[in-house]
A and B are shown apart, each in its own frame.
Chain A
Amino acid sequence: MMTVQSVAPIARPLRWWARGLAGGALTALPVVLIGLAVLLAAPGWVQHLTTMALINLMIVVGLQVYSGNSGIVHLGHSAFVGLGAYGMAILTTPLAMKKLSIPNAPFGLSAVELHWFPGGLLALGVVWVIAWTTARVIARLSGIAATIVSLAFLIVVHSVFLHWPALFKGNQAFFGIPKLVGLPGVLLAAVVVILIARLFRDSPGGLQLRASAQDQMAADSIAIDSRALRRRAWILSALICGLAGVLFAVVSGTISPRLFYFQQVMLTLAMLILGGMGSVSGAVAGAVILSVVLELIRTVESGITIGGYTTPTLLGLSGVALGAVIVLCMALRPQGLLGHQEADDFLSRWLRTAPTRKR
């Protein structure tokens, strides 16, 4: 009986931040290895593709911070990517270029040219203000209602980009942004973002938010303030997506509104669904796997020659593949490849059962 039984002292698990940092590092490790390999050995165009893929990875991780912990599908995260990118473009593009692109910008912005660091911080500041404001509204909602509002937010921001040409150049490309960052900078940012997302997930607030996503009533009964936590997750998610946008602008040098719309939303959402919303490792795995697969499909798309026979061009094949990934995942493994498990959860379970396996 339990009352008389003497129980061996319980091995205390690591503090949450120690486990979070270690686990986050383990998750980031393959990304770092791939990034370094590409940096050292791959041709320039592969480096560029990898850089853009890492920016997508950051967006997926940002999306995971909100969706993975709150259990609410978020369709508006690309709006924050766009806001970060346009903020950076407007603040750091050289004045000579601005005379051509946005000569009539309001608030005297056509005469502003900031260094990349204050420019980036200010762009993130704008993202923070908009995230803080929208968080008041969105955190009141849960489930499908929150998803619809996030979608509405995406459409609103996109419309503003399109119909405020004095500031955003409408549907034309905003060019001439200084290309300041390459693969090393983006790789570093991706690692930092992975660690932050993992620390948030494992933090007391992250744990409470995950609990409230699984059972709202039970969470209420243990005094969890799920609204405040949803606000926090929304803002952190927006800042990570905004940072990805800032980097996008200074990596590619040219941006346009359609880059931050449905196509990007669906791509990053498919990555997250494939890997598993419940964990940062899932977000990273989904982003890496789908980036590679889509790149392979794109080469097939434009026609390849095998033994003298050239396959026909199959434009749109990658779009079909993306849809197929979402459908197959939902049907076969709705929780994604990794489900709620982090890479270190798999590792520690393997270590725990290893002695038994040897026998």
Chain B
Amino acid sequence: MLSVSGIHKSFGGVQALADAALDCASGEVIGLIGPNGAGKSTLVNVISGFLAPDAGQVVLDGALLQGRTPQHISASGIARTFQNLRVFRDLTVRQNIEVASLRARQLRRDGPPMLGVDALLETFGLADRMSDAAGALPYGTRRWMEIARAMATGPRILLLDEPAAGLNDEESDRLHQIITRLRDLTRIGVVVIDHDLTFINNVCDRLFVMDQGRLIASGAPAAVWRNPKVIEVYVGPGTGTGATPAVELGG
């Protein structure tokens, strides 16, 4: 179980995160949403070790992880993808996934079985392109590969930073299926950041809403969308008291 609390982070005079928090149990898919500049990506960077927080705790199954290196955090069981795809362009698809599994296999020889490279290639429909250079793949396929690569580290928590960005409706559906399938197969916890609220509503069990670096609401999607603070952030101040259904917002 991942539990993040009281995270503060400023860049110069700008407070990017002020008392940010979230938690995610195994087998759960949670959504992290909020307007641009709310601090979602900053929070993901703190959790995955790419930024050290000024204060606060990141705890995974009892282990304190805040301020540790990305390598340490990845080896501890938190995997992530990147908003602007980062693939190893000159390696083949198979190598991209294989290279991510090497360290995990070394570290967790006696651990629970993970999805192997072949299983991941199949799950993500990459098997027939496994010998192609990753740089030659179309955008959507690169997304699958990046998620497959993250999964190859055998994580307990998977952080997906805007996975649906740039995907068409069909691909979005497929992403939904993949996320649920991964969750069912491995009982990992998944944290999804996205702007596509329809997608978020469909795929997530619980939502965390951030604004200006703060957690302003959390809970089941239906409850969150009735929260006046959330409505104010998404629709604007003074627009009623919770009558706006979520799916319309997501449109």
Contacts and interface: CB of A to CB of B under 8 A. Distances in A.
A223 B77 CA distance: 10
Interface stretch (A207-215, A243-251, A253-261): A207-215
Contact of A224 (B86, B99, B152): B99
Interface stretch (A1-9, A24-32, A156-164): A1-9
A10 to B, nearest CB: 5
A223 B122 contact: no
A220 B69 contact: yes
A218 B70 contact: no
Contacts of A207: 91, 95, 98-99, 102
A10 B118 contact: yes
Nearest to A16: B98
B74 A222 contact: yes
Given A215-B87, A278-B90, A223 B153 contact: yes
A295 interface: no
Contact of B90 (A3, A7, A8, A340): A340
B30 interface: no
Contacts of B94: 13
Contacts of A214: 88-91
B174 A211 contact: no
B88 A215 contact: yes
A204 B82 contact: no
B48 A221 contact: yes
B153 A208 contact: no
A2 B87 contact: no
Contacts of B181: 3
A300 to B, nearest CB: 38
B215 to A, nearest CB: 24
B104 A223 contact: yes
Contacts of B156: none
Interface residues of A, number: 27
Contacts of A13: 94
Interface string B53-80: 0000000000000000111101100011
Contacts, number: 97
B5 interface: no
| A interface SS class | loop
A12 interface: yes
| B interface SS class | helix
Nearest to A13: B94
Contacts of A12: 118
A341 to B, nearest CB: 9
Contact of A218 (B88, B90, B107, B118): B88
A2 B149 CA distance: 18
A217 interface: yes
B121 interface: yes
B124 A220 contact: no
Contacts of A204: 102
Contacts of A222: 74, 79, 99-100, 103, 149-150, 152-153
Contact of B50 (A7, A208, A217, A223): A217
B177 interface: yes
Given A2-B125, A207-B91, A214-B90, A221 B99 contact: no
Interface string A59-78: 00000000000000000000
Given A3-B177, A7-B122, A217-B50, A223 B90 contact: no
B127 interface: yes
Contacts of B89: 214-215
A278 B90 CA distance: 9
B130 interface: yes
Interface string A127-155: 00000000000000000000000000000
Given A1-B177, A218-B86, A221-B79, A208 B102 contact: yes
B237 to A, nearest CB: 38
A221 B80 contact: yes
Nearest to A8: B127
Contact of B86 (A10, A210, A217, A340): A217
B140 to A, nearest CB: 12
B99 A211 contact: yes
Closest 3 CB pairs between A and B? A218-B86, A223-B74, A220-B70
15 contacts: A8-B127, A13-B94, A208-B102, A210-B88, A210-B90, A211-B96, A214-B91, A215-B88, A217-B70, A220-B50, A221-B50, A221-B82, A222-B99, A222-B152, A223-B153
Interface of A: 1-3, 5, 7-8, 10, 12-13, 204, 207-208, 210-211, 214-215, 217-218, 220-225, 278, 340, 352
Given A2-B178, A207-B91, A210-B88, 20 more contacts: A1-B174, A2-B174, A10-B118, A10-B121, A10-B130, A13-B94, A207-B98, A211-B95, A215-B88, A215-B89, A217-B82, A217-B86, A221-B50, A222-B74, A222-B99, A222-B153, A223-B70, A223-B72, A223-B153, A340-B133
